[in-house]
Amino acid sequence: MAGLLGHIPGMETTVLEPQNLRPDIIHRVEAMDKESLLLLHRLLLSMEKERLWRELSAEAETDHASGKFDRLTDIIREARAELRKG
Q: What is the pLDDT of residues 12-70, one digit of tens each?
A: 567 788 888 999 999 999 999 999 999 999 999 999 999 999 999 999 999 999 998 99
d(CA 75, CA 66): 17
Q: What angle do CA 31, 36, 41 make, to 5 degrees?
A: 105
CA atoms within 13 A on the CB side of 76: 5
pLDDT tens digit string along 12-22?
567 788 888 99
Residues 6+ positions from 69 with CB-CB distance below 8 Å: 63
Residues 6+ positions from 32 with CB-CB distance below 8 Å: 40
pTM: 0.57
